[in-house]
Amino acid sequence: MRIIFLGPPGAGKGTQSERICKDYNIVQLSTGDILRANRNLGTDLGKKAQSYMDSGALVPDDLIIEMIRVELKNPNLANGYILDGFPRTVPQAEALDKLLQELGQELDTVLVLEVPNEELLKRLTARRICRICGKSYHLIYNPPKIEGTCDVEGGELYQRDDDKEEPIMNRLKVYEAQTMPLIEYYSKKNLVDKINGVGEIDFIYNQIQAVLNKYI
Ligand code: ADP
Ligand code: ADP
């Protein structure tokens, strides 16, 4: 199965992707996670991306498209994947169409997770991430079993620099201006499945499963 996961920052894409990957035996490809790993390793790409990421702006399309071109060829994606955080602009979507054509692959669905901005702000300001595996928690809605520690890897939880109010507001604006047009782009291809992203994590996952089971 090949899925694109669209939705504003904080909609729950990472949280839901984790479950989808386990149950459908596919791999999550998160451009945000890959960029953060590059930044932590101090690679060229990481250095180039840093200032954009800190302010909540998008990293330039050419860097992202090159990165995805390499990632999509990874043999561990053979059983399918979920693209989380990519594409984010129309040029990225067009580049992805080309790449998929080259690889002879087709998408099954573009899941759009819808959550209003006031809820996103509450989710993002109290989000915490594992330094080792990248799993996300919420101080109130989805806390770890032991404060400050990841349930899975025992890693330290930290707050992303861009999960502060100013970069969050920027990211929400960027989503509306640059990423929301993709809903129209994929609607024209009849690929969009919308999911209401407000409610219990389990409840939302049940709705996602109902959609994905159509494509098995
Ligand atoms: P995204 O990957 O879309 O940016 P995350 O999966 O990291 O979003 O979720 C953002 C924050 O909201 C995290 O702190 C997460 O624990 C929390 N969260 C995810 N789903 C829900 C939900 N249904 N209700 C409340 N909080 C949620
Ligand atoms: P979230 O979904 O919580 O906003 P991500 O982890 O997906 O965050 O992205 C974090 C940052 O990484 C973005 O604000 C942006 O700077 C950069 N980024 C991630 N994916 C892309 C992309 N496809 N195009 C451009 N920039 C990206």
- The pick from 58, 119, 121 for probing ligand 2's pocket by mutation, whose C-beta has the most ligand atoms within 8 angstroms, reads 58
pLDDT of residue 192: 98
CB of 9 shorter than 6 A to ligand 1: yes
Could you tell me which CATH class the domain 2-116+176-215 is placed in? alpha beta
Q: Decide: 77 and 27 in contact? Cβ < 8 Å.
A: yes
Q: Decide: 52 and 70 in contact? Cβ < 8 Å.
A: no
Structure-token pair, residue 54: 């800190």
Per-residue pLDDT of the chain (216 residues; tens, 9 = 90+): 999 999 999 999 999 999 999 999 999 999 999 999 999 999 999 999 999 999 999 999 999 999 999 999 999 999 999 999 999 999 999 999 999 999 999 999 999 999 999 999 999 999 999 999 999 999 999 999 999 999 998 999 999 999 999 999 999 999 999 999 999 999 999 999 999 999 999 999 999 999 999 998
Which atom number of ligand 2 is nearest to the Cα of residue 60?
Answer: 25
127: β partners = 138
What is the distance between the alpha carbons of residues 185 and 122, in angstroms, rounded to a whole number?
29
What is the distance between the alpha carbons of residues 185 and 182, in angstroms, rounded to a whole number?
5
Structure-token pair, residue 212: 């994905």
In 26-155, DSSP assigns E strands to 27-30, 81-84, 109-114, 127-130, 136-138
Q: In what order do the strands lie in the sheet with 157-158?
A: 136-138, 127-130, 157-158
pLDDT of residue 153: 84
CB of 135 shorter than 6 A to ligand 1: no
In the chain, DSSP assigns E strands to 2-6, 27-30, 81-84, 109-114, 127-130, 136-138, 157-158, 192-196
The four Cα atoms 191, 197, 202, 206 give a dihedral, to 10 degrees, of -30
**Residue extents of the structural domains in the chain:** 2-116+176-215
The ligand placed nearest to the CA atom of residue 5 is: 1
Task: Give the three-state DSSP class for 2.
Answer: strand
